[in-house]
């Protein structure tokens, strides 16, 4: 749909100038002078306001004769890893204990410099650091199962205990021996129409699902590690794999509820609120006042809002379905634009 509302157009143009990632998926900008369309964060030069049309879906821009930008590739999911990055990750996953060198990348037709740039931009770490994290993750799992530090070190590809111990402490925060009693939180990344998201999972279930540009995300990570007495390491388990699959189905309009195990550290009251959030039907909204009535705590509206704000599992624990009593959108950690998109998405597929 072409967006003609002037106030909305000005808001979207502000997002384009700021390259605001919270607007990814909520609109596409089409440039009349070049005939191309982009996502809000495209690094190409910002066009003049009078030369832009805004569309709610990429297919609308295509139907009106615009072609996808070759820089930001708007018809792909936001930040979908390109084929060469996927191939590099596959090489690592074939044997996480062996380092994939620049020479091996070149032997497989890959450019080491491009791989490094992509990992630095999207994971804030180098490709070699990513590999080290996976090796330490595997070593940590072995230590948890009772293996000796020496065995774990050499199995992980380290030639000396000192090198293994140093790297382990840098990534985990404690020495191998001191970390045996800690749990593991595995973190992985998933693409979505609204931008990339982090998924964190323990052995018990999903403990975090957040957009990667969420404010105070680092604080959430630290709080989660403290509450679960755990370390966060790169990787996946059956819970995170199931979460990725079900989120994909949700965004495709094929799923309106989630069947996932959750591991949510919090107070009894917070758990009551989070359970109540999960009872809000797909494609509907409610208010804090209505939720307070349902749990027989009419005066706990502010406390409910606070508990809602501490929800770490976006979409699956659907805090986006809570709106103000006046019908307007209230705060959302992922941004109000994403909240509106999610509500519109659910309403559309509920009706379908």
Residues forming the active site: 319
Let me know the angle formed at the C-alpha of 193 by 189 and 197, rounded to the nearest 5 degrees. 25
- Select from 242, 263, 241, 231 the least CA-distant residue to 137: 231
For β-strands 67-68 and 36-38, DSSP reports them as parallel
CB atoms within 10 A of CB 117: 13
Backbone angles phi, psi at 26, to 5 degrees: -85, -25
Q: How far apart are CA 156 and CA 176, in angstroms?
A: 13
Q: What are the C-alpha distances in Å from 297 to residues 177, 281, 291, 294, 320? A: 47, 21, 9, 8, 21
Q: Are β-strands 230-234 and 67-68 bridged in parallel, bridged antiparallel, or unpaired?
A: unpaired
Closest CA to 50 of 35, 69, 36, 31: 31
């Amino acid at each position: 749909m072409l967006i003609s509302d002037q106030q909305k157009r000005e808001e979207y143009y502000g997002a384009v100038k700021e390259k605001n990632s919270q607007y990814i998926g909520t609109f596409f900008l089409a440039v009349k002078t070049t005939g191309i369309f982009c996502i809000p964060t495209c690094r190409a030069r910002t066009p003049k306001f009078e030369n832009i049309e805004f569309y709610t879906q990429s297919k609308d821009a295509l139907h009106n004769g615009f072609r996808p930008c070759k820089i930001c590739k708007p018809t792909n999911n936001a930040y979908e890893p390109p084929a060469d990055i996927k191939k590099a990750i596959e090489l690592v996953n074939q044997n996480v204990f062996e380092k994939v060198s620049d020479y091996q990348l070149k032997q497989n037709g890959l450019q080491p410099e491009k791989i490094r740039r992509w990992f630095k931009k999207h994971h804030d770490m180098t490709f070699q650091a990513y590999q080290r994290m996976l090796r330490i993750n595997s070593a940590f799992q072995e230590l948890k199962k009772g293996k000796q530090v020496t065995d774990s070190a050499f199995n992980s590809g380290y030639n000396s205990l000192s090198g293994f111990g140093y790297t382990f402490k840098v990534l985990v925060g404690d020495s191998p021996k001191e970390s045996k009693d800690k749990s593991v939180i595995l973190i992985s990344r998933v693409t979505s129409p609204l931008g990339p998201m982090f998924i964190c999972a323990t052995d018990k279930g999903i403990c975090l699902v957040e957009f990667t540009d969420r404010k105070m995300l680092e604080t959430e990570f630290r709080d989660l590690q403290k509450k679960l007495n755990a370390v966060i390491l790169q990787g996946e388990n059956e819970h995170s794999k199931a979460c990725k699959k079900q989120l994909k189905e949700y965004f495709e309009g094929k799923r309106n509820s989630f069947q996932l195990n959750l591991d949510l550290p919090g107070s009894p009251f917070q758990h009551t609120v989070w359970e109540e959030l999960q009872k809000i039907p797909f494609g509907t909204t409610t208010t804090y006042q209505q939720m307070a009535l349902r749990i027989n705590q009419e005066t706990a509206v502010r406390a409910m809002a606070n508990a809602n704000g501490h929800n770490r599992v976006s979409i699956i624990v659907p805090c986006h379905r809570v709106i103000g009593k006046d019908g307007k959108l209230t705060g959302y950690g992922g941004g109000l634009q994403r909240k509106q998109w999610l509500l519109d998405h659910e309403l559309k597929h509920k009706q379908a």
